[in-house]
């Protein structure tokens, strides 16, 4: 669909539908006199304009989205009873919102930043939201650190700018960030477009089958367009010349029928493996090596329809990692647990208590049947139906079957770190990633990191940051130290 299809017929009206006689001149007391309060069209236009913006997302403010189709290509019923995954060939409508993380709503697309990957499956058992990133890992592993982390990425309260001191102070003092930071400053840290990058569910999730058996799962969406990235210099130029480059690329590709697609893979871990796996399988700063749990191809995701209105369908789209369907549930990943609360809470603040009922957000393949009512912009969809349960008048009732299977827990409550495993390390996988890169990419990685670390004002902060990379790989640390010294003199 292109914009030409959206022409409105008939005369211009007020919000109340009355015809407008003059949309060019406000009403005045005589020719050249002051404007009259009775010019309701003028007042209505100015008042509405003042209220056009809703709070922008604190993170992932800048984004673009499209609808698509997910198609199952492999029988996965041995691992999950989710109906939308139940048979080969089954199709489910989706909406995918891509984003950058740190920039404000009007920021440029071509920047070094993780990309959000928020995918909604409109399944017949309700909407399933998989809210991941274009990287399989993250900077931290406990949501209690998230507000502090984001404060270091956004604007400093005194200078009003992002500050290298804050960024590197936090990363240096949070060695668990080393893997994700190595990724971010490598070639994949600036994708050429949203179409040329992979997506990941990032967290570990639970799948459970009809028999009630539990499996832990990680999702991978591998781009069929091939990985394509921008160098720092290319990105700097493009961000200035075409700030909307990623958004434009996605819309134009779909308009010309060049539908982007991703091959969907999962890694499956039987529940019994988790306790004694060599590292904590619920740690968001780590991947599961493919040799331990090989990726299994299960489907295809294609984007094939542009939104018709960016504000209604992209800005007001909401996703929550807590939106599960039968057969899928959370893991004890502490970042995921925090996000289960934070996303719904953000939407209630940003879009309102009825956000889930907007056309882009509501279930498309079933209906929401709740006893919640009213609130701002409630549309009366329940008409006169009873608004409580139990009741003697019919209406929706509970199923008595939980979506996911509960886990056994032991011990006292407390501010516990996650359970330790034999090979837990904040550095090993960062080192593996460094050694997996080509020599050319390693050079660019070191150059990108050094350029940023060199801006730090204090030696101790710079040294601590470099030391994390030294622990990941000796050669990595040595080269980085030399490059930073060369720049700092």
Q: What DSSP assignment string belongs to 298-366?
A: EEEEEEEE--S-HIIIIIT----TT---TTEE--S-HHHHHHHHHHHHHHHHHT-TTGGGSTTTS-SSS
**Angle, alpha carbons 330-120-219 (nearest 5°):** 50
Residues 6+ away with beta carbon under 8 Å from 408:
none
Contact between 92 and 122 (Cβ < 8 Å): yes
For residue 462, the SS3 value is helix
Is 296 among the residues that bind ligand NDP (CB under 6 A)?
no
H helix runs in 97-194, sequence order: 146-153, 164-173, 178-184
Angle at which helices 459-472 and 439-453 cross, to 10°: 160
Is 425 among the residues that bind ligand NDP (CB under 6 A)?
no
Is 190 among the residues that bind ligand NDP (CB under 6 A)?
no
| The one catalytic residue among 23, 25, 60, 229 | 60
Distance CA 263, CA 295 (A): 11
User: Of residues 124, 142, 165, 441, which one binds ligand NDP by CB under 6 A?
Assistant: 441
| Minimum distance from residue 150 beta carbon to ligand NDP (Å) | 23
Is 278 among the residues that bind ligand NDP (CB under 6 A)?
no
Closest CB to ligand NDP among 92 and 134? 134
Q: Please indicate whether residue 236 is annotated as part of the active site.
A: no
CB atoms within 10 A of CB 204: 24
Q: Mask 203-232, x = binds ligand NDP (CB under 6 A)? A: -------------------x----x-----
Closest CB to ligand NDP among 473 and 481? 473
Closest CB to ligand NDP among 366 and 425? 425
Nearest residue to ligand NDP by CB is 290
| The one catalytic residue among 23, 104, 133, 304 | 133
Is 196 among the residues that bind ligand NDP (CB under 6 A)?
no
- Identify any residues that bridge with 13 across adjacent strands, giving them in sequence order: 19
Closest CB to ligand NDP among 61 and 472? 472
Binding to ligand NDP (CB under 6 A): which residues in 227-256?
A: 227
Binding to ligand NDP (CB under 6 A): which residues in 323-352?
A: none
The helix (run of H) or strand (run of E) holding residue 41 is: helix 40-50
Binding to ligand NDP (CB under 6 A): which residues in 58-117?
A: none
User: Of residues 60, 120, 141, 188, which one binds ligand NDP by CB under 6 A?
Assistant: 188
Ramachandran sector of residue 311 (left: φ over 0; alpha: ψ -120 to 50; beta: rest): alpha
Closest CB to ligand NDP among 134 and 320? 134
Is 261 among the residues that bind ligand NDP (CB under 6 A)?
no
Q: Please indicate whether residue 134 is annotated as part of the active site.
A: no
For residue 424, the SS3 value is coil
| Minimum distance from residue 183 beta carbon to ligand NDP (Å) | 6
CB atoms within 10 A of CB 269: 20
C-alpha closest to that of 329 among 135, 144, 142, 125: 125
User: Of residues 42, 437, 454, 487, which one binds ligand NDP by CB under 6 A?
Assistant: 437
User: Of residues 433, 446, 461, 472, which one binds ligand NDP by CB under 6 A?
Assistant: 433
Binding to ligand NDP (CB under 6 A): which residues in 115-174?
A: 136
Contact between 353 and 326 (Cβ < 8 Å): no
User: Of residues 79, 128, 139, 183, which one binds ligand NDP by CB under 6 A?
Assistant: 183
Distance CA 90, CA 70 (A): 8
Binding part of the chain for ligand NDP, among 147-155, 281-289, 318-326, 403-411 by CB under 6 A, reads 281-289
Report how far apart the first and last C-alpha atoms of the chain are (Å, whole number): 56
Is 185 among the residues that bind ligand NDP (CB under 6 A)?
no
Contact between 92 and 129 (Cβ < 8 Å): no
| Minimum distance from residue 366 beta carbon to ligand NDP (Å) | 32
For residue 257, the SS3 value is coil
**Angle, alpha carbons 66-72-77 (nearest 5°):** 135
Is 297 among the residues that bind ligand NDP (CB under 6 A)?
no
Binding part of the chain for ligand NDP, among 7-15, 184-192, 244-252, 336-344 by CB under 6 A, reads 184-192
User: Of residues 151, 237, 290, 369, which one binds ligand NDP by CB under 6 A?
Assistant: 290
Give the footprint of ligand NDP on this chain (CB under 6 A).
136, 183, 186-188, 198, 222, 227, 287-290, 429, 432-433, 436-437, 441
The catalytic site residues sit at 60, 133
């Amino acid at each position: 669909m292109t914009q030409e299809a959206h022409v409105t017929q008939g005369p211009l009206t007020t919000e109340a539908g009355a015809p407008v006689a003059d949309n060019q001149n406000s009403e005045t007391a005589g020719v050249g006199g002051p404007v009259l309060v009775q010019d309701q069209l003028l007042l209505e236009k100015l008042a509405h304009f003042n209220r056009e913006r809703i709070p922008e997302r604190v993170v992932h403010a800048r984004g673009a989205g499209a609808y698509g189709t997910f198609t199952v290509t492999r029988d996965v019923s041995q691992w999950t009873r989710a109906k939308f995954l139940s048979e080969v060939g089954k199709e489910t409508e989706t909406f995918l919102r891509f984003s950058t993380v740190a920039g404000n709503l009007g920021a440029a697309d071509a920047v070094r930043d993780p990309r959000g990957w928020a995918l909604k499956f409109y399944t017949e058992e309700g909407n399933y939201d998989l809210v991941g990133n274009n990287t399989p890992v993250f900077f931290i592993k406990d949501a209690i650190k998230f507000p502090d982390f984001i404060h270091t990425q956004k604007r400093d309260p005194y200078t009003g700018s992002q500050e290298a001191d804050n960024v590197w102070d936090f990363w240096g003092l949070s060695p668990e960030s080393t893997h994700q930071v190595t990724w971010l400053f490598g070639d994949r840290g600036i994708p050429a477009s949203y179409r040329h990058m992979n997506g990941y569910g990032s967290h570990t999730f639970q799948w459970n089958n009809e028999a009630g058996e539990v499996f832990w799962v990680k999702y991978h969406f591998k781009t069929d367009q091939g990985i394509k990235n921008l160098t720092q210099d290319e990105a700097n130029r493009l961000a200035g010349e075409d700030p909307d480059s990623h958004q434009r690329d996605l819309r134009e590709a779909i308009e010309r029928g060049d539908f982007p697609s991703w091959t969907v893979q999962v890694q499956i871990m039987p529940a019994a493996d988790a306790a004694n796996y060599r590292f904590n399988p619920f740690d968001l700063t780590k991947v599961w090596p493919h040799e331990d749990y090989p990726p299994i191809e299960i489907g295809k995701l294609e984007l094939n329809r542009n939104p018709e209105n960016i504000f209604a369908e992209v800005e007001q789209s909401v996703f929550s990692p807590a939106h599960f369907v039968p057969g899928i549930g959370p893991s004890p990943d502490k970042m995921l647990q925090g996000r289960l609360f934070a996303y719904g809470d953000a939407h209630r603040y940003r879009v309102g208590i009825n956000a889930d009922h907007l056309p882009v957000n509501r279930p498309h393949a079933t209906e929401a049947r709740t006893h919640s009512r009213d609130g701002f912009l409630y549309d009366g969809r329940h008409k006169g139906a009873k608004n409580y349960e139990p009741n003697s008048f019919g209406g929706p009732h509970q199923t008595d079957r939980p979506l996911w299977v509960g886990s056994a827990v032991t011990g006292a409550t407390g501010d516990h770190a996650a359970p330790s495993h034999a090979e837990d390390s904040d550095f090993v996988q960062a080192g593996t990633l460094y050694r997996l890169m080509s020599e050319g990419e390693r050079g660019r990685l070191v150059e990108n990191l050094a350029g940023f670390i060199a801006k730090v004002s204090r030696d101790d902060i710079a040294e601590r940051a470099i030391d994390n990379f030294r622990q990941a790989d000796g050669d990595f640390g040595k080269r980085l130290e030399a490059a930073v010294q060369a720049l700092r003199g």
